[in-house]
Amino acid sequence: MTKLILAVVQDQDSSRLSKALVENNFRATKLATTGGFLKSGNTTFMIGTEDIRVERALQIIKENCRARDQLVAPVSPMGGNADSYVPYPVEVEVGGATVFVLPVDQFLQF
């Protein structure tokens, strides 16, 4: 059976992951995407592969997409008193990868 792996990674990890996938004979389609929480750039990889290669693909993703800390200025509250709002940067963990593995009924290449 075939699987579709959707991996959402930070742009900083995109080139490294793409190179590692090619070196391990995985074909992937890259899509430029934007995250909802930090509104930052991401890359979504679509990888079609057989069941027996899913674990290897996940290992490559894990090895090439690392989490990192980033300072983020909070957004001013809508409708609140902007005079009393003092934005303090908050450190949040970003990166790593969000991965979905889905079953595929049919996988064709033309």
CATH for 46: 3.30.70.120
pLDDT at 79 over 60: no
Q: Is residue 79 part of a domain?
A: no
Task: Summarize the confidence of residues 89-110 as an average pLDDT.
Answer: 81
Helix, strand, or coil (residue 51): helix
Domain interval for residue 13: 2-72+89-104
Give the pLDDT confidence score for residue 105 in this predicted structure: 92
Give the pLDDT confidence score for residue 11 in this predicted structure: 86
Structural domains counted in the chain: 1
Q: Is residue 99 part of a domain?
A: yes
Q: Is residue 66 part of a domain?
A: yes
Q: Is residue 98 part of a domain?
A: yes
Query: Higher model confidence: residue 77 or residue 40?
Result: 40
Q: Is residue 54 part of a domain?
A: yes
Query: Higher model confidence: residue 91 or residue 41?
Result: 41
Q: Is residue 82 part of a domain?
A: no
Residue environment code for 65-96, b if the CB has 16+ CB neighbours within 10 A, otherwise e: beeeeeeeeeeeeeeeeeeeeeeeeeeeebbb
pLDDT in tens, 3-31: 999 999 988 899 999 999 999 999 999 99
Query: Higher model confidence: residue 107 or residue 78?
Result: 107
Query: Higher model confidence: residue 92 or residue 10?
Result: 10
